[in-house]
Amino acid sequence: MARARTRRPRRAITAALAIGAALLAACGGDAPGPQRDAAGAITEPGEARLLKLRIGDCVANLRTAFECDDGGHNGVPLVRAVPCTYLHDGEVLQITPIESASYPGPPIIDGEAARGRLDLEPRIDRARAQTGLTGRRELELLTFRPTDNRWDFENQREILYLAVFATPRRGRL
């Protein structure tokens, strides 16, 4: 009889822990991310939030991730980071930190994004010439900027500059 009394609370605790773990997994625990070598290069593909990527990382589903937002994490898309030798439609070109203790507001963020875009234009023009991607739609420059919500809840303190390709390709720009 004493044994039955101790099993029920244990089973209830075990069930509650299992339900809690399932809820955490379903409610947006971050994906484990891609595997990297000692130098930080991606060696095996993996799912990751865009803000977890580094300069030079390639993304296999960037266009789709932005077009079909998963609705979580304040609009930070879940992407498939891949080695650059795999077919991919996006690449992280630059990450520029925002030096401010509090959210500086859209005019400052937009100004910094415009400055970064101007700095990257010669590189994009060279890449267009070298790859034969002459049209603006074939190779676009996308900026992913912090918003008030991402600043507060996702700790986004940088602007990401991404090359987006109309047709998937291999290699880095």
Tokens matching residue 51: 């803000």
Tens of pLDDT along 104-159? 999 999 999 999 999 999 999 888 888 877 767 788 999 999 999 999 999 999 99
Query: Mean pLDDT throughout 21-25?
Result: 35
Nearest residue to 91 (alpha-carbon basis) of 115, 125, 118, 127: 127
Q: Report how far residue 168's alpha carbon sits from residue 33's, in angstroms, rounded to the nearest whole number.
A: 21
Burial 71-90 (b: 16+ CB within 10 A, else e): eebbebbbbbbbbbeeebbb
Domain ranges of the chain: 1-30, 33-169
The pLDDT of residue 24 is above 60: no
Does the structure show a pLDDT above 80 at 6? Answer: no
pLDDT band, residue 16 (cuts 50/70/90): very low
Residue with tokens 């998963």: 70
User: Cα separation of 93 and 170, whole Å?
Assistant: 15
Query: pTM of the entire structure?
Result: 0.79
Give the model's pLDDT for residue 97. Answer: 97
Q: For position 19, what pLDDT does the model report?
A: 39
Within a 13 Å sphere around the CA of 47, how many CA atoms are in the beta-carbon half?
A: 10
Residue in 138, 113, 143 with CA at minimum distance from that of residue 125: 138
Q: Which residues make beta-bridge pairs with 65?
A: none
Distance CA 90, CA 103 (A): 27
> What integer pLDDT is reported at residue 144 of this predicted model?
96
Checking if the pLDDT of 13 tops 80, the result is no
Indicate the pLDDT class of residue 15, thresholds 50, 70 and 90: very low
Q: What's the pLDDT tens digit per position in 47-105? A: 999 999 999 999 999 989 988 766 667 889 999 999 999 999 999 999 999 999 999 99
Nearest C-alpha neighbor of 51 from the set 67, 72, 36, 25: 72
Question: SS3 of 55, please?
Answer: coil
In this structure, what is the dihedral angle of CA atoms 32, 84, 77, 159, given to the nearest 10 degrees? 110
Least confident of 2-6, 56-60, 140-144, 169-173: 2-6
